[in-house]
Chain A
Amino acid sequence: MDAVTRAAAVYLFLVLILRIAGKRTLHQVTTFDIVLLLVISEATQQALLGEDFSITAAFLVITTLVGIDIVMSFLGNRWRLVDHILGSRPELIVDHGTVLKDRLHRHRMEESEILEAARELQGLERLADIKFAVLERSGSITIIPEDGN
């Protein structure tokens, strides 16, 4: 009982806080993001198990977490709105070489991040070579090169 409520509370809290933080915040852009992620998981672990280090407690916690995740995916599948609230929607950030500045600003992103993704994924050199760039639901950037590249 205790382990199940703990796991459910932690799951809901994490969904909420990660959505508030925004897509890019913990997207491992810098080394520090990864460190932050590790620290968060450490703090979470304490809350999940408390002082109960039994295998049963671990099983219950894992089962609850995965179970809620499955339920959420069912709900998201049934109602698209739920899916969007939990996992956001993709957003166009470059349209035929033009950066959509207000959208970048909203996600606290810089042009250089788009160029970085363009170099990494497509070997592109300039913004003009980008046909579309999309900020995906995961927070990663995908690039579609201009025709002829």
Chain B
Amino acid sequence: MEQQQAHELELEESPRFAQREALAERLGWLVMAAVVVAAALGLFANGPLSHRTVASDEVSLRYQRFGRSQGRTTLEVEAPAGAAIDGKIEVWVAQQFLESYEVEEVRPEPEATSTSNGGVVFSFALDGDDTALKATLTLRPEQTGRHRGAVAVASGRPATFTQFVYP
């Protein structure tokens, strides 16, 4: 134990330790500031860094690159009116992706849900011939880690994306 003070007080103090402690404290503040800024930007979901849009054939998908376990995340699917067959648009979502999530809500309400081709197919009825589809899937991530997803409309090529889910 370092004993440098010339006083009669018996104290387990150490200026060297106090200095290192102060330094570590200030480094910690920097990390805290960085975390707050990163969170504001969306590195931990819900921010400009997190929102992405991908498109493939007739589907356009807005998703989040980051999600949080037991939080909420949305998939916004857009498809033009031309993708409709008999007044219906079928949206296919890869089953493998949905296994890590719980589907909380699909809006608008799909007319039918079925499975095909390793995925879940949501069938939406369209009002008029010139109405585009804008559907939102609200999901709750159940498993942490990186999840690969794919969304397709009708028989078009799927738009693929990945989402990282924080614990």
Q: What is the interface of chain A, defined by CB distance below 8 A to chain B?
A: 9, 16-17, 19-20, 22, 50-51, 84, 88-92, 95-96, 103, 106, 132, 134, 144
- B31 / chain A contacts, CB cutoff of 8 Å: 20
Q: 21 A-B pairs, CB-CB below 8 angstroms?
A: A19-B25, A19-B28, A20-B25, A20-B28, A20-B32, A22-B25, A51-B70, A84-B17, A89-B18, A90-B11, A90-B12, A91-B13, A92-B5, A92-B9, A92-B11, A92-B13, A95-B5, A106-B22, A132-B7, A134-B9, A134-B11
User: Of the candidates A16, A17, A89, which one forms a contact with B13 in the assembled complex, judged by CB atoms under 8 Å apart?
Assistant: A89
CB within 8 Å of A: which B1-49 residues: 5, 7, 9, 11-14, 17-18, 21-22, 24-25, 28-29, 31-32
6 closest cross-chain pairs (CB), A and B: A20-B28, A106-B22, A132-B9, A91-B13, A90-B13, A89-B17
Interface centre among B13, B14, B18, B28 (most CB of A within 10 A): B18
Q: Closest B residue to A137 by CB, please name it.
A: B12
Question: Interface residue tally of chain B, by bracket?
Answer: 10 to 19
- B32 / chain A contacts, CB cutoff of 8 Å: 17, 20
Q: What is the interface of chain B, defined by CB distance below 8 A to chain A?
A: 5, 7, 9, 11-14, 17-18, 21-22, 24-25, 28-29, 31-32, 70, 167
- Apart from A20-B31, A50-B70, A91-B18: 11 A-B pairs, beta carbons within 8 A: A20-B28, A20-B29, A20-B32, A51-B70, A90-B11, A92-B7, A92-B13, A95-B5, A95-B7, A96-B7, A106-B22
Task: Give the docked Cα–Cα distance between A91 and B32 (Å).
Answer: 25
Task: Give the docked Cα–Cα distance between A16 and B29 (Å).
Answer: 11
Task: Give the docked Cα–Cα distance between A144 and B9 (Å).
Answer: 10
Q: Closest B residue to A96 by CB, please name it.
A: B7
Question: What is the distance, in angstroms, from A9's C-beta to the closest C-beta of chain B?
Answer: 8
- B25 / chain A contacts, CB cutoff of 8 Å: 19-20, 22
Task: Give the docked Cα–Cα distance between A43 and B22 (Å).
Answer: 27
- B21 / chain A contacts, CB cutoff of 8 Å: 88-89
- B22 / chain A contacts, CB cutoff of 8 Å: 106
